[in-house]
Structure 1
């Protein structure tokens, strides 16, 4: 058994769905769980429905109609018969969504979000399963909520591994192709739909791999594999043929769009390799994340984060920055929802580079000024380089003002003002 995961970009239109069939045909795998995300930008569109629902019910209805029309266009390009049963199935989902929006009494945003956004994956897999059958690829459609069992932490649910393993063993066919949804689960007490948080579809693939003792997981993307830098920001990039589990987790921690650590952890426990491959060139080797050599080739890996804020604190009376002071700082960073990217401290100073995602900087600075002398720089860039060479660091700092530098055995981090 192998696990294939297709993201939204790979099935954003009818041609993408047809290409999914090409991938299955070219790879020749017969025993598969195929995990699929919502099509294209459907999740974003359904987030618009949620926002409209809490603002104006009529706007939510209009936004829902746009999502339906997007999927109907894809179906029209896939199925020649307008009376194909898939149209009725998809319409039924949108009727269920409309019924929920009219009858729901809950004001819990996270709960409503999960009930609404989940329709993206349910509709995409319904269309794809039907199309596979249309082109004579036999498959089983599985509602993933039958087997991914979680708590009620909506938008970032925690898995009940024991219950999930039992259900997967019970409902997933050991032979043939099963088509199911990523990102979704069901909370065990009331059976409401939940979502699994960031990179939830990749995580779903890892869950199935772990529970089925799969041979491998392959994530199909619109890139040849994992690159050592983002080509949008760096002129020369290299494909990484192999990355160890540990190195992949390190890269993800620093912000590289590799694979989220929660996806890697269950795979690492059973040493199940994960492949990142191009859905346009499915026979290319891509990148393997697994046991063994740290990096192949052993090249520097560059990670860039823009529009951050560097805050530098020092004590008002030149006393030491001790655990109680730093503890207060972290408490306030949490209170004001600052994502910490880098910290550095000395005897009488403490610096932290943060991502002010929720525009709470002024509130935080006001709080800090009561206790510390505060300096800050907005709009800074953080470069993180793994396995760097001195010449590369020199090139990065050329004509840039370096506000902070931090270096360990394998990692150099630079906060610069461009």
Structure 2
């Protein structure tokens, strides 16, 4: 025997209804089946609203018409496809049932009161008609059908609107019925009968429970719950697209997941099937060949100790505290007894170790009632100051991590708390079940989705996620985009998922939280209409709950650099080749680092000094290991390295500068390179990195251009072709003099151990580590306590779009700071 339950979306229209009939017939060929149906989607909502609106004097004509239309369209659709389907008889049944419904609602309107018994009769109409429709459809297909009336066969105890089935008695009643083995059994879900044979319902969404009860009564081999999702996921896939389908979970895990908010199963469904060890399979009506999720008595999966993350929204926490709590016996009993008498469900409980307070979570809709009963229970204690006024924190949510294997795994709580902390989510309370298969945290309600995403990414995702926003789409920016595009697949194989979610230049920006199509980004950017604004990026990140957003600044803009503090404060990492922030005032320099530390975000700028060379990272490693800089000497400009190398080969200064510009080594205006200010900025960054609190004006700069050469009023082309050649003879003389001594000219930056920094032209002999550096290379010689007399030398290309982009790319990858699944 196999019990099949189909939810409301599975019988929502004729197409789905026919799918369900196909599944039933296919399963019938394997073994006898019993089928439980919910009402078609939206019907129960309409019926509940009809009662509520009638009591409040609201017109319900549209609700009645909409509900009746759903059934008529269902009939018409099935009759159009299925020969022999008796839609005429069913149409009469629908008309009669809706006539009765209107009479009941008319009586409610007159009395301005709806007895629970009548309420129950109204809201189960959808299931009753769904069974009638399925019976006629299966008969039309030549099947033998027996309809079981749940009011007669399922004995329930409790109120008319929330009852629990007595399984032993119901088993006897069902087994007393003689049902041929070749018959399909049909039963309406959600419904049962009390001792007086009156109709009662099993609570909202109780059809799952009906199926579990029927499976228990029949001692079925399997219970299948057919719905509109593929099974149970690691968390809600609507909130976390990366959620993974679970192949199997235990009864206990399913119970915890459903209790803490998983929507696939009703919490009471698990108990009957667990009691008789009946496997339960969750399947998708729209994907019948999918594997689904099996709920059964399984061994602990050591490889996957965490099975799911679930949540409950719209919660409130009530705190009962005061000096009267300490040492007073029975306080907890009185608190929860009063809450129980009020019919309020307590979801989570936590108590301070000092016994000074007890806190518990309930639905926010129950807060007023809870406070009322507590104030009545503890009237004297509150009056005499033994208890403080009842404290309520609203707008909360509970996030729970669940799994049988958690009992034997260390560090899971630390991982969860670390993930929440990384997203700046405050944990208000913590609770762990005595079974140790769940850990729950209470957070602010509006942080739920972000909390679930970061926790899921920490505990389940193999891939680390980096969401990149690139500002500045010049040569370096374009090279970076191309590099990321080429490497995305390779990085995915290394468990790093990087996507570009934003591009911006001085005119327009383009954003897509799911990642921009890099095959066509140029066209899309041109067609963009929005300008770049920090506020729009912050809204995008918050709305889409991005996990690891990174601002990448490929500009030379001071206005962008001035926003770094705001970027960091709003949750972005920053990767930049722009030197303006690190060479601004010392006050701003320190502010950026303070905010980065406070917000736990990274500020990475290795390309500020050495383009693709890992200068800053290596220097920081030396300092962190206790090394100390004694002296520094370096060629810090790829363009000037190229120019001075060409001077060695016999080119004039003007010819070498033009050649450097053609190769793309210089700034758009080569005077920015020849002035020495760019080298000075790099030198200042290095000096500040080792602890010298200097400003840019503290760097002594020897410009390549003589002071009496007026270059400010000339166009670039005029400067290169007319003005720069006028000083070629000066450098010709310097080169000849250097060569006579066996030396070469190099433009270098120096830091002395007294903090003196200067940028200057120097003649170097063959013993100097910078002697052979040319052709666009950078070279940095660090003389330290550990590296002397032979210095640590970092050498490589220091100019070019691809080299700089590669350095930025390396910094972007450094924003991945933690590992997953390494229990």
Q: Identify whether the pair has TM-score above 0.5, normalized to the shorter chain.
A: yes
Q: CA deviation at 1:175?
A: 2.8
| Aligned match of 2:41 | 40
Aligned pairs for 1:247-266 within 5 A: 247-266=253-272
User: In the superposition, relative to structure 1, how do residues 321 and 21 fare at CA in structure 2: closer, same or farther (>3 Å)?
Assistant: farther
User: In the superposition, relative to structure 1, how do residues 363 and 292 fare at CA in structure 2: closer, same or farther (>3 Å)?
Assistant: closer
| Aligned match of 2:292 | 286
* CA contact 1:149–1:159 (8 Å) conserved in 2: yes
Indicate which of 361, 384, 390 corresponds to 1:353: 361
Q: CA deviation at 1:402?
A: 1.8
Q: CA deviation at 1:73?
A: 1.4
Aligned pairs for 1:86-235 within 5 A: 86-101=90-105, 107=113, 109-151=115-157, 153-171=159-177, 172-189=179-196, 191-235=197-241
Q: CA deviation at 1:32?
A: 0.9
Looking at both structures, which has the greater relative contact order when contacts are Cα pairs under 8 Å and sequence separation is at least 6?
1
| Aligned match of 1:385 | 401
Structure-1 separation of matches of 2:391 and 2:307: 32
Q: CA deviation at 1:60?
A: 5.2
Structure 2 unpaired stretches of 5+: 407-411, 448-823
Q: CA deviation at 1:34?
A: 0.7
Structure-2 separation of matches of 1:254 and 1:379: 17
Structure-2 separation of matches of 1:319 and 1:156: 35
Q: CA deviation at 1:204?
A: 1.4
User: In the superposition, relative to structure 1, how do residues 307 and 359 fare at CA in structure 2: closer, same or farther (>3 Å)?
Assistant: same
| Aligned match of 1:10 | 10
Structure-1 separation of matches of 2:76 and 2:276: 43
Is 2:244 the partner of 1:238? Answer: yes
Residues 336-390 of structure 1 show CA distances to partners (whole Å, capped at 9, x for unaligned) of: 5543222111221222222222452794498276532444432122211123463
Give the root-mean-square deviation of aligned CA atoms: 2.9
| Aligned match of 2:600 | none
* CA contact 1:277–1:284 (8 Å) conserved in 2: yes
User: In the superposition, relative to structure 1, how do residues 97 and 166 fare at CA in structure 2: closer, same or farther (>3 Å)?
Assistant: farther
Q: So what's the TM-score if we normalise by structure 2?
A: 0.47
Q: How many residues align?
A: 415
Single out whichever of 63-72 and 369-378 deviates more from structure 2. 369-378
User: In the superposition, relative to structure 1, how do residues 231 and 83 fare at CA in structure 2: closer, same or farther (>3 Å)?
Assistant: closer
Structure-2 separation of matches of 1:314 and 1:145: 48
Q: CA deviation at 1:20?
A: 0.7
| Aligned match of 1:71 | 71
* CA contact 1:150–1:159 (8 Å) conserved in 2: yes
Q: CA deviation at 1:218?
A: 0.2
Q: CA deviation at 1:261?
A: 4.6
Q: CA deviation at 1:49?
A: 1.9
Q: CA deviation at 1:5?
A: 0.2
Is 2:410 the partner of 1:403? Answer: no
Aligned partner of residue 306 in structure 2, secondary structure: coil
Larger Rg: 2
Aligned partner of residue 180 in structure 1, secondary structure: strand
Structure-1 separation of matches of 2:32 and 2:93: 26
| Aligned match of 2:480 | none
Structure-1 separation of matches of 2:87 and 2:186: 23
Residues 253-282 of structure 1 show CA distances to partners (whole Å, capped at 9, x for unaligned) of: 333335345322222222211111111221
Structure-1 separation of matches of 2:144 and 2:258: 37
| Aligned match of 1:85 | 89
Q: So what's the TM-score if we normalise by structure 1?
A: 0.88
Aligned partner of residue 218 in structure 1, secondary structure: strand
Is 2:318 the partner of 1:311? Answer: yes
Q: CA deviation at 1:165?
A: 2.0
Structure-1 separation of matches of 2:373 and 2:388: 10
* CA contact 2:5–2:211 (8 Å) conserved in 1: yes
Aligned partner of residue 358 in structure 2, secondary structure: strand
Q: CA deviation at 1:168?
A: 1.1
Q: CA deviation at 1:47?
A: 0.7
Is 2:306 the partner of 1:299? Answer: yes
